[in-house]
Structure 1
Amino acid sequence: MRRVFAAAVFGAALVTLPAGQATAETAACTWQKTAWEIPAGDEVGEIFGYDGSRYAVGVSGFEAWEGEGVWEAKATLWDRGKVVYRADELLPHFRDVNAAGLIVGDTIVDNRFIGITATHDGRTTPLPANPAWRSYSAWQVNNAGDIAGWASNADQSWLVVWPANAPGTYREFPHEPTSLADLDEQGRVLILTSSSEGGGSVLDVDGQWRVLVPHGTATYSRPHDLRDGRVVGASGGSAIEWDAQGKVVRAFGGGITDAAAIGGNGTIAGYGGSPRGVVLWRGGAVVEQPIAGEFLVNGFSDDERTIVGRESAIPTQYHCS
């Protein structure tokens, strides 16, 4: 539901606003860092999906020998930062989880990927499928229980939505292979084009695709999060907010270069400032929050008091207390 987005943040201090930049009210709290639990024997972990409150899914395993990522990655479920479940094998894959604890993802049956739901002890149930699909997978779930994912055969790919209000059914939307970025509570789906040029689109509640318009003279847009019809990301070197029709609502000032996540009250978490850090943008003004070290934002909570992500290859949260 709260789709993951990772972008490196460097610096460990409260970021200074440019002269004349308006600021929102000073946060009446201190942001405290807590590293999440890693299963015994594992070294690192990564978050893929966050429900905005307590549950998160991802993987844990060993630090990759080269580059980033997790070696021998195994599905892991966290509840308020504590490990609830960790798979014994490389399957199933957990992709997302909602506030009711419903997990979605995929596994392999008869040499093909199938989309699944999963319980907290790792038991899986296949999602309904069209026999024409060669493979399919579930990537997003919202609190209503709507599920979105992908299906394909040798000749075609589809975005697939399994609606919560019609159990046992699915809707197919032909589309080129892309990355499924988010699913909001109203059922809109956000996708990120997989090409190097970027790009993004929203499948609106009327079943129509809305292409996100690049900002200014930019030729690309990179969306990262969707909530209540609001989309945030980057375009042309600026953090951008779009509406559900794909139109640019605003380009962020104050040196904010990317927008990563939207909180439950509409506050946006992004990156910018000097030195570069995590910033919160609220009500037309910027509040800089001191998140120390290198931090990758994965989600911003519904109550806007917790930012979850990854730091030093460990799932981590900063909580406002």
Structure 2
Amino acid sequence: MFVQRGKRLLVMAAVAVALPFSLPAVATAATGPIELGIVPGTNDTSVTAIGDRGQLIGQSCANSPHSHSCVAVKWDKAGRVTRLEPLPGGFAEAKAVNATGMIVGTSNLRAVRWALDGSITQLSSPPGGSTSEATGISSTGVVVGSGKAGDDRQRGLRWDSSGNVTVLAAPPLEGAYYASAITRDGRFIAGRLYGTDGSTRVLRWDATGAVTMLGPAAVQSWFRDLNASGELVGDTVINDRHTAVKWTADGTMIQLGGPDSYGTSVLALNGSGVSVGRGYVATPAGSLDVAVRWAADGTMTRLSDLNGQAEDIDGQGRIVGRAGNAALWDANGVKTDLGTLPGGGFSRAQLIGLDGTIAGGAVTAGGDWHAVYWPAR
């Protein structure tokens, strides 16, 4: 579902950097995280996606000095864990969940979908296809991902709600291309291209199926997030520096401001065009990261001291990430420390759902990394 407008001139607008004289005030510390359930026989868990109603999916892994194995899982509102069964004789990864709780991912190198009752369906491949993966799902059940057709070339794929597969339009530059995300309403799809010229580009398809290729020629660009208006954020290379950028609905590229001459990286975007991520500042110990927010016009506000990163933002402008440990910032930039597990150490907030549920991870008293959540407030 991206627009096929071919190559276009990308205008890199210089953006003013707004650095407050002091960081926003810190609110009273919140109640600490709640540990999510773990599959017996495993010791590490992590959340990969959060649905509109607070549904959580991820993986539960058994890690030892000599082995590593994981199973796909989902958690209910009480934090109880359920294993998502793979295709016969294989493994599975859960990648995305939609508003109804339908989950998509990969099992045995094939794109799959799990229904609400946990039953798994293998999604069809293009004629002669060998492998596939599902990476995004809309509220209406449209799935996107990628796979190989009979000629063994990687292509972006779209499955309708009945599971019928369509190969997405190819970009104007040859190479392997993938679909990574779809908007809730299914109007826009975003992905990436590994071009035969050695560059990596960002792709966007619109509701007609036409594709637009974004990013400067002959450099690497990475897709991070997409909103319902068709705006995208990602990173690219400008003047040999890793730089956060936003592409507007018409394809114009805006450079997002940074805290100093070091690089920036953007991680998430909301429906109002506000984005979040990290910037780097020079210190006697070297370059360290700080959490930052960019307004719709690219103007930056610094949210944290050193050792910080903003990882997700919701429609109300609430931001989650880390500032030492897991943190929540309100729309005014006031920070709440989200705490750690009892007897544990570091914590990190990674996702905030439409209902306000926050998910992330934390170190347990035993030193393992476990998925955690903070209920909607």
Superposition TM-score, scaled by structure 1 size: 0.73
Which has the bigger relative contact order, CA under 8 A and spacing at least 6? 1
Q: Given residue 211 of structure 2, which amino acid in structure 1 is its aligned partner?
A: W
Q: Given residue 239 of structure 1, which amino acid in structure 2 is its aligned partner?
A: A
- Of residues 262, 268, 272, the one that matches 1:261 is 268
Per-residue deviation, 1:182: 1.6
Inter-CA distance 162–222: structure 2 relative to 1 (3 Å threshold): same
Match of 1:277 in 2: 290
Per-residue deviation, 1:53: 4.4
* 3-state DSSP of counterpart to 1:232: strand
Match of 1:209 in 2: 211
Is 1:136–1:150's contact at 8 Å kept on the other side of the alignment?
yes
- Give the distance between the partners of 1:315 and 1:266, measured in 2 at CA: 29
* Percentage of identical aligned residues: 20
* 3-state DSSP of counterpart to 1:145: coil
**How do 1:52-131 and structure 2 match up within 5 A?**
52-63=52-63, 65=65, 71-80=68-77, 82-87=79-84, 90-108=90-108, 113-131=109-127
- Give the distance between the partners of 1:83 and 1:50, measured in 2 at CA: 15
Match of 2:301 in 1: 286
Superposition TM-score, scaled by structure 2 size: 0.64
- Give the distance between the partners of 2:280 and 2:31, measured in 1 at CA: 21
- Give the distance between the partners of 1:23 and 1:193, measured in 2 at CA: 41
- Give the distance between the partners of 2:280 and 2:357, measured in 1 at CA: 21
Match of 2:133 in 1: 137
Deviation track 1:129-176 (CA, whole Å, cap 9, x = no partner) reads 444323333221022321112231351333211234xx3533212654
5+ long unaligned stretches in structure 1: 1-17
Q: Given residue 259 of structure 2, which amino acid in structure 1 is its aligned partner?
A: G
Of residues 201-210 and 220-229 in structure 1, the stretch that sits farther from structure 2 once superposed is: 201-210
Of residues 54-63 and 40-49 in structure 1, the stretch that sits farther from structure 2 once superposed is: 40-49
- Give the distance between the partners of 1:116 and 1:197, measured in 2 at CA: 30
- Give the distance between the partners of 1:310 and 1:180, measured in 2 at CA: 27
The reply to whether residue 44 of structure 1 matches residue 44 of structure 2 is yes
Is 1:218–1:235's contact at 8 Å kept on the other side of the alignment?
no
* 3-state DSSP of counterpart to 1:106: strand
Inter-CA distance 230–174: structure 2 relative to 1 (3 Å threshold): closer
Match of 1:240 in 2: 245
Match of 2:340 in 1: none
Match of 2:146 in 1: 150
Is 1:39–1:60's contact at 8 Å kept on the other side of the alignment?
yes
Inter-CA distance 173–102: structure 2 relative to 1 (3 Å threshold): same
Per-residue deviation, 1:306: 5.3
Is 2:258–2:280's contact at 8 Å kept on the other side of the alignment?
no
Q: Given residue 268 of structure 1, which amino acid in structure 2 is its aligned partner?
A: S
- Give the distance between the partners of 1:60 and 1:25, measured in 2 at CA: 37
Is 1:188–1:202's contact at 8 Å kept on the other side of the alignment?
yes
Inter-CA distance 318–168: structure 2 relative to 1 (3 Å threshold): closer
Per-residue deviation, 1:295: 6.9
Q: Given residue 249 of structure 1, which amino acid in structure 2 is its aligned partner?
A: I
Is 1:232–1:261's contact at 8 Å kept on the other side of the alignment?
yes
The reply to whether residue 220 of structure 1 matches residue 223 of structure 2 is no
- Give the distance between the partners of 1:146 and 1:239, measured in 2 at CA: 29
Inter-CA distance 107–119: structure 2 relative to 1 (3 Å threshold): same
Per-residue deviation, 1:288: 1.1
Is 1:94–1:105's contact at 8 Å kept on the other side of the alignment?
yes
Is 2:19–2:302's contact at 8 Å kept on the other side of the alignment?
no
Inter-CA distance 128–95: structure 2 relative to 1 (3 Å threshold): same
Inter-CA distance 81–177: structure 2 relative to 1 (3 Å threshold): farther
- Give the distance between the partners of 1:81 and 1:248, measured in 2 at CA: 43
Match of 1:172 in 2: 167
Is 2:145–2:180's contact at 8 Å kept on the other side of the alignment?
no
- Name which one, 1 or 2, has greater alpha-carbon Rg: 2
Is 2:231–2:249's contact at 8 Å kept on the other side of the alignment?
yes
- Give the distance between the partners of 1:27 and 1:267, measured in 2 at CA: 21
Of residues 76-85 and 92-101 in structure 1, the stretch that sits farther from structure 2 once superposed is: 76-85
Per-residue deviation, 1:86: 1.6
Is 1:47–1:58's contact at 8 Å kept on the other side of the alignment?
yes
5+ long unaligned stretches in structure 2: 1-16, 282-287, 305-321, 326-345, 364-368
- Give the distance between the partners of 1:320 and 1:271, measured in 2 at CA: 25
Deviation track 1:71-103 (CA, whole Å, cap 9, x = no partner) reads 211011123572441246653332211121001
Match of 1:314 in 2: 370
* 3-state DSSP of counterpart to 1:82: coil
Match of 1:13 in 2: none
Match of 2:342 in 1: none
Equivalenced residues, count? 292
